[in-house]
Structure 1
C-alpha cells in the first residue's frame, strides 16, 4: 500500500520550511506527500502574551484537530511548542536531526550591555527570566508573532534588541550580522528540534515517518521534555533544559527561574546513554527538592 501523505503545517514561512524539509526527506525514501497549511490560534492572536492564552499547545491544537478529523495524515512542529502530553490518538512518529539549540540576541548595537540600562523584547517567560537574572536593571517587553513579524517589530520600535532561536532564523535565512550568541542562556526543552506526529492507528504513516527519526536527537529531547513535564505540572514557567551526548555519556543542564529572574535553581548531571531512563525525571525532582516546589507554587499563583 502507498498513498500521498498529507502534511499538516502552520502557514508561517518557518513552519512551511520545516514541512518542506520533511516532504523532501520523504521523497528521498520514495514516498509522495502534499502540504496542507493551516493558521493556528497562536498566530491569529498577537496582542496577548502567550502565558495569558494558556501557552500549552496553542500552536499545535489546530493541527491536532485537523489530524483527528482526518484532514491531514501527519503534522510537523517545532518540538519546543508541543505539549509534553500529546492528545489521545496522536503519537510521536519521528524526531528530525536537531539544528542549533541556541538563543541569540539580534541587536542595534551592544553599548547598552555595558551601560546597564536597556530594553529587550521577547514573548518567552524563560528568556525574560534569564535575561533579568543577568541584567536586573533592564526592561523586557512582550514580543509576539512569527519570526518575520517579530523581526519587523524590532526594526519599528526603539528596543535595543530581541531574543530569537538561532535555528528559526537560520532555516529561513533571516539571521542578520548584528547578533550575539547567548551561550549562557539555557534553551527551551527540545529547542532546535522538529517533531513529526501521526495518528496512532495509521500504521502506514507511522512506519514511513519512522525512517526519518534521528536517534541521538530523540534521546536528548525526550530527557529535556521529561524534565519539563515533571517540573511544570501543566503550568507555564521559566524552565530551561539542554541534554547533550558526548562519548556515550548524556550531560543534562536544567534550571527553573522565578518570573522576575531573581531566583534560579539549577541542576547539572550526567549518566551513561545506556541508563537514560528517568534521567530527566530525577533531575527535575532534584530541582523540586531544592526549593523548586515552592517556586512553582509562586509562579502558578502569579499566572492564574
Structure 2
C-alpha cells in the first residue's frame, strides 16, 4: 500500500522549517507527502503568558485534534512543547537527531549584566534561572513566534531577550550580538524535533522509523521522565539535560522557585546500561530534597 502522508504543522516560519525537513527526509526515501499548516491557540493568544492560559499542550492540541479527526496523518513538533502524556491513540513515531540544546541571550550590549537590566522571555524556566544568577534584574514577558519576538526586542528598550539557539539557527535568524548561556539548564527535549502519528497507522509508523535517532531518543526520554515525575501537570521552572559520551549518560536537572531565589539541583553520571528510570530517580531526589514543598508553592502562585 502507498498513500500520500499528510504532514500537519503550525504555520510559523520555524514550524514550517521543521515540517519541510521531515517532508524532505520522507520524500528522499520515496514517500509521497503533503504539508497541512494550521494555526494553534498558542500562536493566536499572544497577550497572556503561557502559564496563565492553563492549557497543557497549547501548541500541539490543534494538531492532535486534526490527527484524531483524520485531517492529517502525522504532526511535527518542537519536542519541548509536547506534553509528557500524549493523547490516547497518538504515539511518538520519530525523534530526529537533536540540534543545539543551548539557550542564548540576544542583546544590545552587555554592560548591564553587573548592574540593573531588563530581560525578556516567556519561559518560567528561563526567568527563574536568570533571576537566580542576576537577582537585581527585571524579567518581562515575551510571546509570539521567533520572528515576532526578535522584532519586539528590536522595538523595545529591553537589554536583551532569551531564545533557544536551535530555533534561531534553523531559520538563519541568529544575530551578531548574542552569547551562549552555558550555565542555563535547557528545557527537557530542547533542540529536538518530534514526529507523532496515530497508534494504528502502521504505514506512517514504518515510514517514520527511518528518521529516528536513537541517541537523541534516549536523552530526551530521560529528560521528559524527569519533567513528568516532578510536574504532575503543573507548569514549573524545570530544566533538564541528558548527554551520552562513550556509553556514559551525564544528567543535570533542576527545579527553581518562580522568583529564582531557590534552586534544587541533581547531577548524575551512569553507564548507559543503568540509565533505565534515570529521569524518575533524579526527580525523586529533587522532590525529597525540598522539591515537594517547592512544587506546592509554585502551584499556589501560578493559580
Q: Give TM class, smaller chain.
A: over 0.9
Deviation, structure 1 residue 56:
2.2
Q: Which residue of 1 aligns with 2:274?
A: 275
SS of equivalent residue, structure 1 residue 253: strand
Q: How does 1:55-204 map to 2 (within 5 A)?
A: 55-114=55-114, 116-204=115-203
Give distance in 2, aligned partners of 1:150 and 1:5. Answer: 32
Give distance in 1, aligned partners of 2:82 and 2:139. Answer: 25
TM-score between both structures, scaled by the size of structure 1: 0.99
Give distance in 2, aligned partners of 1:143 and 1:268. Answer: 30
Give distance in 1, aligned partners of 2:32 and 2:98. Answer: 24
Aligned residues: 303
Give distance in 2, aligned partners of 1:179 and 1:56. Answer: 31
Deviation, structure 1 residue 277:
1.2
SS of equivalent residue, structure 2 residue 139: strand
Q: Which residue of 2 aligns with 1:230?
A: 229
SS of equivalent residue, structure 1 residue 250: strand
SS of equivalent residue, structure 2 residue 210: helix
Give distance in 1, aligned partners of 2:116 and 2:29. Answer: 53
- Between 1:24-33 and 1:68-77, the stretch displaced more is 24-33
Per-residue CA deviation, residues 265-298 of structure 1 (Å, 9 max, x unaligned), is 0000011112221110000000000000000000
Give distance in 2, aligned partners of 1:30 and 1:46. Answer: 39
SS of equivalent residue, structure 1 residue 162: strand
Per-residue CA deviation, residues 92-142 of structure 1 (Å, 9 max, x unaligned), is 00000000000000000001013x200000000000000000000000000
Matched, 1:3 2:9: no
Q: Which residue of 2 aligns with 1:247?
A: 246
Q: How does 1:201-216 map to 2 (within 5 A)?
A: 201-216=200-215
Give distance in 1, aligned partners of 2:193 and 2:148. Answer: 21
SS of equivalent residue, structure 1 residue 174: coil
Q: Which residue of 2 aligns with 1:19?
A: 19
Give distance in 2, aligned partners of 1:48 and 1:299. Answer: 18
Give distance in 2, aligned partners of 1:94 and 1:56. Answer: 21
SS of equivalent residue, structure 1 residue 51: helix
The alignment yields a C-alpha RMSD, in angstroms, of 0.6
Give distance in 1, aligned partners of 2:172 and 2:55. Answer: 27
Give distance in 1, aligned partners of 2:94 and 2:53. Answer: 28
Per-residue CA deviation, residues 143-170 of structure 1 (Å, 9 max, x unaligned), is 0000000000000110000000000000
Give distance in 1, aligned partners of 2:116 and 2:65. Answer: 45
Gaps of 5+ in 2: none
Matched, 1:288 2:264: no
Gaps of 5+ in 1: none
Per-residue CA deviation, residues 206-245 of structure 1 (Å, 9 max, x unaligned), is 1110110000000000000000000001000000000000
TM-score between both structures, scaled by the size of structure 2: 0.99
Conservation of the 8 A alpha-carbon contact between 1:55 and 1:236: no
Over 2 Å off, 4+ runs: none
SS of equivalent residue, structure 2 residue 241: strand
Give distance in 1, aligned partners of 2:269 and 2:296. Answer: 28
